Chain A
């Protein structure tokens, strides 16, 4: 672990170690850091195991305050505080998000894993693509673009991958409703399949509750 610290110390903003070594890096240093981790003979993190984005906008927000529940009877936890309560996005409204891209690397030679996190500031979704360092990043970056809208600069084929042809929005952001915005249905008058606003009644079955153990 000291080896890692020594090699990349000036590049990282944060260093922690829980289940594995976790480095936080500015996006300007991202490629440099990954290159060092991959090419250093003492580390050899040659495999990009996983790349994903995370939306931290609702982190630590619960849907149900139990304090009020005891004084004024039980509510059903349906105050629209966070994502699973369906909340149709108004098109003029600016969608809120707080994205982080997470990389998991594996070194087979030394049997080590490492996690690299890169936070995106809210005014720019652009992050350098790592496809030239790791070939396996190709599809992972397409996935993160599709589901979260992260734009990977330098990726030469940044298309949607998992969602349908012609899909609008980035569904894994926390503010994107769980039911989606549109549904497909057959319109007997036009005699074709059309997209229409979704008509599922929103429900919260089990509200999100945060309890700190003592």
Chain B
């Protein structure tokens, strides 16, 4: 059929399956992809350059907006980098709070990924189930920071506020009467930790529900098994990290290999795949959610029996308490200096990485001794993943590109930065 030849197709940037603003230029041979050229940068906000013009603490909020579905993990890498340069110790309570919120964030991220991925491949209901649980976790975010997503909760030296002793409740409104409200508030009577506890207790059953819908589902398997296969050697070569690497069977997780905070004291497993296809990566992420719930439970138990400091008492870096400021001149000066000029970080450089839900989220920070970072390079896990899209989708059908974008867990906030 010589009259047909390869043709070029534009996909996105406003396509619902493109997860944001991805533009793909696809070289097609009928339904088969010959090459895919992602055009990125449509969400480029020059976060790294902005950070160079602001004092350290004012950049924490920008980190939330990088990977906007795993907000606190991004903050974590950033504050850890500052702490490394300052050689600042973090109280144990703050470390537990951070680890707990990192894992809450991991579940948040994987739930969104699961819902969106399933939706892309044609399973509507998983999305609704996933968002039911996300809503509760968003409430946990809101309880500590006042915001559902862009929390800006971590600080160099700890976290901004201690965990609240009460959990906000639903109130009677025109849609819900007293009986319904009481039902909604059943696990909000105690503290935030009680609420998280009750969430973790029911969460494994929720994961079972998602698995019931997908794991043995014939359509789901047809759409994911054998799609986007990456061999372990190739995954390393392409710079893969996180579930993308573990799906290919390499047991590499920074929480185990370079344990930061209190991960050393916690018990959890690292799931790995065998085939390196989209289905394995799905199983890895599902299992990670269960492990995260496990970690949250351990943190919860520890935090319930502790009343330590939630932020470093070094008032050169962390703000002094309100009470101190009322009758202590020194504290007042520290407070003024911190919120006007910020603090100066000693000259040096550091590469600090955390295991974010999508993979290794690294921060390369250079300080020349000023109150602003001299250079901040953010190593986003999604960037090398998307770079491999061409290789992963070659020879697959057009509809499989959607699966592959989904399985890579692409979020443009971090890729375009």
Contact partners of A160 in chain B: CB under 8 A? 41
A-B contact pairs, 13 of them (CB 8 A): A18-B349, A49-B379, A50-B379, A59-B374, A60-B347, A60-B369, A136-B238, A136-B387, A140-B383, A172-B49, A205-B54, A206-B54, A208-B371
Query: Could you tell me if A136 and B368 are in contact, using CB atoms closer than 8 angstroms?
Result: no
In the assembly, what is the distance between CA of A184 and CA of B346, in Å? 40
From residue A198, how far is it (CB to closest CB) to chain B in Å? 14
Beta-carbon contacts of B360-387 to A below 8 Å, as 1s and 0s? 1010101011111011010100011011
Identify whether the interface residues of B are mostly helix, strand, loop, or mixed. Answer: mixed
In the assembly, what is the distance between CA of A20 and CA of B58, in Å? 27
Q: How large is the interface on B (under 10, 10 to 19, 20 to 34, 35 or more residues)?
A: 35 or more
Query: Could you tell me if B379 and A111 are in contact, using CB atoms closer than 8 angstroms?
Result: no
> Is B29 an interface position by the 8 A CB rule?
no
In the assembly, what is the distance between CA of A52 and CA of B46, in Å? 14
Q: Select one of B258, B347, B417 contacting A162, CB under 8 A.
A: B417
Query: Could you tell me if B44 and A162 are in contact, using CB atoms closer than 8 angstroms?
Result: yes
In the assembly, what is the distance between CA of A163 and CA of B53, in Å? 20
Closest 10 A/B residue pairs (Cβ): A136-B239, A162-B41, A84-B53, A139-B387, A52-B377, A50-B379, A211-B344, A162-B44, A210-B369, A210-B370
Q: Select one of B54, B241, B364, B371 contacting A102, CB under 8 A.
A: B364
> Is B55 an interface position by the 8 A CB rule?
yes
Looking across the interface, which residue of chain A has its beta carbon closest to that of B250? A108
Beta-carbon contacts of A56-95 to B below 8 Å, as 1s and 0s? 0011101000000000000000000001100000000000
Q: Select one of B252, B341, B350, B386 contacting A19, CB under 8 A.
A: B350
Contact partners of B352 in chain A: CB under 8 A? 19
> Is B342 an interface position by the 8 A CB rule?
yes
Tally A residues with Cβ within 8 Å of B: 45
In the assembly, what is the distance between CA of A152 and CA of B216, in Å? 48
Beta-carbon contacts of A125-168 to B below 8 Å, as 1s and 0s? 00000000011101110000000000000000000111110000
In the assembly, what is the distance between CA of A62 and CA of B269, in Å? 48
Query: Could you tell me if B351 and A54 are in contact, using CB atoms closer than 8 angstroms?
Result: no
> Is B40 an interface position by the 8 A CB rule?
yes
20 more contacts with CB within 8 A, not counting A206-B340, A206-B371, are A47-B236, A54-B375, A58-B374, A60-B369, A83-B53, A84-B53, A108-B236, A111-B257, A111-B258, A134-B239, A139-B383, A139-B384, A161-B41, A162-B41, A172-B46, A172-B48, A208-B371, A209-B341, A210-B369, A211-B344
